[in-house]
Amino acid sequence: MTLIKSISGIRGTIGGNPGDNLTPLDAVRFASAYASWMRERYPGRRLKVVLGRDARLSGEMIQDLVAATLIGCGIDIVDLGLSTTPTVELAVPMEVADGGIILTASHNPKQWNALKLLDSRGEFLDAAAGQRILELAEAEAFDYATVDDLGQKSVRDDYLKLHVDHVLDLELVDAATIRKQKFKVVVDGVCSSGGIAIPLLLEALGVEVIPLYCEPTGHFPHNPEPLKQHLGDICREVQQTGADFGIVVDPDVDRLAFIDETGEMFGEEYTLVACADYVLSRTPGNTVSNLSSTRALRDITEKHNGSYTAAAVGEVNVVAAMKETGAVIGGEGNGGIIYPASHYGRDALVGTALFLMLLSEKQLPVSALRASYPAYFMSKQKIELEPGLDVDALLAAMHQRFKDEEVSAVDGVKIDFEDSWVHLRKSNTEPIIRIYTEASSQQAADDLGAKFISEIKAARAAL
């Protein structure tokens, strides 16, 4: 069982001992710390926070604990109930709120949950704010409201529709153009809130929806991370139904992956490439993705005469780089689309609409669209960490081993070879080292990943 405290929030497995897992006491403690930070940031103000959750089994319990804690701290809450991460991000400024909390462990299995913390712009907190909340949680110097100053709760159940309306109003989204195509699409909602939100958007765009695992029961039917090895059911469903393509999201709907009409993965790395191709064709400019994302985005950006920037892994880092460079689109290679004309957060609904516009204009099958992009292949592997292992020393040892190559230490260790690269980094959300590789064939990428697993084991043994 695990509890991970980071600047981006608190994430852990449900049950067990306080301080070691995400227990009710831990949920209350970190919600109290967030409230204390807000009071420091906005002294003397009556505060408001937006709350929402995905459909995982512990979601209602954790949200009730967080809501009651904030009310006890004298903070008003707007409860969206079952929602998505990007919906909560949009709701914060729409409600003129001072912050937001999303109860979701994103792609993690059902035993996990988390408090993901937002600022008044509906964006994830920066490092300084996150560190201050960790300090306040450690000190436990909380000051709760008296009975006359308790917060108030309001409930909103219309924000998924408002989110869809927002997407339809984007300048680069033309619903009439999409409706003319009469697309038929399979949607895998992994039994979470994406099973409601994505069909709601598609139906508004005149798309025929074939639902797969769209009941938000919280009993995930497969590993919720949208990777090829977990998606056999939707690949078969697309083939058997003759659908134009398939859509897969993670439980909180900030990651987006596509299946082509033959039942093959479009490649979650290419979700951002395709959406960027469409946006750049209409609004030329710059792009940003993280160090673990495909080189294909750089190629597409340069094709449209833009400039590409690689940021450290983490949405907050990508957003910061996007603001610095004035990027018109960016995101992460895990299928996360950040489109500033909408908001600075990964949003599968926005990505879906942009992809549908691209298909409508290109008039190509999804497989042909994929074949039109530079052919890179990625392998994503990981090694679980032993308790007490000095991961920083291990990564430093890997840096030293490959010092004669082009090496970046901006975030972990990234080693660029002539026709491939490998990125090694500690996960911010799980006790693992992630090993991302990219090469000109899948076999080469897999082999490079296997090679570096051996290299890490050798370096670990030498420490």
Largest CA distance in the chain: 66
Q: Which of 68, 73, 71 is nearest to 36 (CA)?
A: 73
- Phi-psi domain of 330 (left: phi exceeds 0; alpha: psi -120 through 50; beta: other): beta
In whole angstroms, give the CA distance from residue 231 to residue 214.
Answer: 14
- Please enumerate in sequence order all residues whose Cβ is within 8 A of that of 399, keeping only pairs 6 or more positions apart, or say none: 407, 409, 413
To the nearest 5 percent, what fractions of the chain are helix, strand and coil?
40, 25, 35
- Write down how long the chain is: 463
Pairing of strands 377-384, 432-439: antiparallel
**Amino acid letter, residue 212:** L
In whole angstroms, give the CA distance from residue 389 to residue 377.
Answer: 31
Compute CA distances 348 → 147, 193, 268, 278, whole Å. 41, 12, 12, 16
In whole angstroms, give the CA distance from residue 120 to residue 89.
Answer: 9
In whole angstroms, give the CA distance from residue 43 to residue 229.
Answer: 50
In whole angstroms, give the CA distance from residue 70 to residue 406.
Answer: 48
- Please enumerate in sequence order all residues whose Cβ is within 8 A of that of 303, keeping only pairs 6 or more positions apart, or say none: none
| Count of beta carbons in the 10 Å neighbourhood of residue 238 | 29
Is there a catalytic annotation at residue 106? yes
**Amino acid letter, residue 351:** G
Pairing of strands 308-311, 287-290: parallel
| Count of beta carbons in the 10 Å neighbourhood of residue 360 | 18
Contact 97, 119 (CB under 8 A): no
Contact 211, 246 (CB under 8 A): no
Phi, psi of 76 (to 5 degrees): -75, 145
In whole angstroms, give the CA distance from residue 140 to residue 18.
Answer: 14
Burial class of residue 400 (count of CB atoms within 10 Å of its CB; 0-12, 13-18, 19+): exposed
- Please enumerate in sequence order all residues whose Cβ is within 8 A of that of 67, keeping only pairs 6 or more positions apart, or say none: 51, 77, 79, 153
* From 36, 106, 292, 420, active-site residue: 106
Active site positions, annotated? 106
